[in-house]
Amino acid sequence: MPQEKLSYLSETLIGSEIVKLGGEIREKIRLGEKIYNFTVGDFDPAVFPIPQELEDAIVSAYRQHFTNYPAAEGNLDLRQSISQFIKEREGLTYQLDEILVASGGRPLIYSLFRAVCDTGDKVIYAVPSWNNNHYTHFVGGQHVVVEALAENNFMPTVKELQPHIQAATLIALCSPQNPTGTTFTKKDLADICDMVVAENARRKEGEKKLYVMYDQMYWQLTYGSIQHHDPVTLNPAMRPYTIYVDAISKAFAATGVRVGWVMGPANIVNKMKAILTHVGAWAPMAEQKAVAVYLQQKNAIDVYLQQFKQEVAIRLTTIYNGLQQLKQQGFAVDAIAPQAAIYLTVQFNLCGKKNNTGNTLTTQADVTAYLLNEAKLAVVPFYAFGASNRSSWYRLSVGTCKVWALVKKKKLKLCWRN
């Protein structure tokens, strides 16, 4: 039977390549195959549990029967803790009416797009990046896509963004970046901020401003000499135009706890709040109470982050070093040195090579299938994050990686030599 016609949005929304790949992997595992799964941007709780203090606080909150509706903007005690935490850790000062809490970053990003963008508005985002293409589609925005380059660690530059800013409404930035695990340099981000401030000064009174969504979900997870930079610290004139997206999801391996927040101009935050009152995407009451308590435990947070970051860095660095050894031996692989987050940017440059049965790997999708079916290696291609379908780069996530298993990555040697 023919399907009934539904809304334009539902009929044009693009399915997730990541979800599709994840389904294929789950089916292979169900059938008994051993898959080295580096696709999931999540954590195995057996490997990376949430902080014990946070877990105890959540259990305590439920036992105290904090099970009713929270405040629409987030509980007062949580917003107070967030304000204090961000001021102490990042040097940013935001008042309570400039902070909005929700169930993780996704509803906050959605409400931000809804609050500032009209149908047809230009939304600028670089690829590869996480979900900006879908959020732009949700609001009927005009996609302005900048393909970031490997030589810039896949981070957009002011030179690439500048030609597109006239009449644009929103620039979606993320650092540390998902999927690349790379970060803005201080200079590159400062240059972008100068551009935004100058563009807004040029616009006439009554004309919509150019806003920046700054997704810094992974900002506490940087390694070695890498430092996190943010727009308002680099350029205070960015404050009226910057909306930060943050959460406990990644820094505390708490993706399922669902507590996130934004910080930004009160007028925008209030509009986002109004939108979310109809969506109902509140962070659960007990989890809010627990996070409010946990964010005040400075020593516990320091101890947790030190151990957590060390464990993630070991995994990223070990795999990176292994890939570099393969590259030196002549295999068609590469990787960018780990900087942040739980991701490693890796390359499998195998298009045009022949697989084990003599068939040519014609497309990058063929390469992805080859890695999964022959090497039993599951990684997410950058074309799943909006990059060109010819891109030979991939996201490798270590959130479910056990250290003892790293030595088994000899499977990577199925990649062809140049």
Which CATH number is 344's domain given?
Answer: 3.90.1150.10
With a CB cutoff of 8 Å and minimum separation 6, the contacts of 355 are 361, 366, 370, 374
Phi, psi of 416 (to 5 degrees): -80, 150
> Is 39 in the same domain as 107?
no
> Is 400 in the same domain as 289?
no
> Is 186 in the same domain as 228?
yes
Q: Is the peptide bond before 176 cis (omega within 30 degrees of 0)?
A: yes
> Is 94 in the same domain as 176?
yes
Residue 56: inside a domain: no
Residue 183: inside a domain: yes
How are strands ordered across the β-sheet holding 343-348? 333-335, 343-348, 393-397, 380-381
Residue 101: inside a domain: yes
Residues of the chain with pLDDT under 50: 405-418
Residue 44: inside a domain: yes
Predicted TM-score of the model (pTM): 0.94
> Is 401 in the same domain as 365?
yes
Where does a domain end: 266, 297, 328? 297
> Is 191 in the same domain as 331?
no
Where does a domain end: 297, 316, 342? 297
pLDDT value at position 1? 57
> Is 333 in the same domain as 204?
no
Residue 308, domain extent: 8-48+302-414
> Is 287 in the same domain as 306?
no
pLDDT value at position 345? 98
pLDDT value at position 246? 98
Cα–Cα distance between 258 and 247 in angstroms, integer?
8
Question: 242 near 192, Cβ under 8 Å?
Answer: no
CATH of residue 115's domain is 3.40.640.10
Question: 97 near 333, Cβ under 8 Å?
Answer: no
pLDDT value at position 290? 98
pLDDT value at position 40? 86
Residue 322: inside a domain: yes
Residue 177: inside a domain: yes
Residue 59: inside a domain: no
What's the total number of domains in the chain? Answer: 2
pLDDT value at position 404? 66
> Is 170 in the same domain as 74?
yes
> Is 272 in the same domain as 387?
no
> Is 280 in the same domain as 345?
no
User: What is the bridge-based pairing of β-strands 122-127 and 242-247?
Assistant: unpaired
* 138-156: pLDDT as tens digits: 999 999 999 999 999 999 9
Where does a domain end: 239, 264, 297? 297
The CA-CA-CA angle for residues 131, 134, 136, to 5°, reads: 110
pLDDT value at position 383? 93
Cα–Cα distance between 2 and 157 in angstroms, integer?
47
Burial 55-89 (b: 16+ CB within 10 A, else e): eebbeebeeeebeeebeebbbeebbbbbbebbeee
Question: 284 near 103, Cβ under 8 Å?
Answer: yes
Residue 53: inside a domain: no
Alpha helices in 125-264 (DSSP H): 132-138, 158-161, 186-202, 231-234
> Is 236 in the same domain as 257?
yes
Residues forming beta bridges with residue 207, ordered by sequence position = none
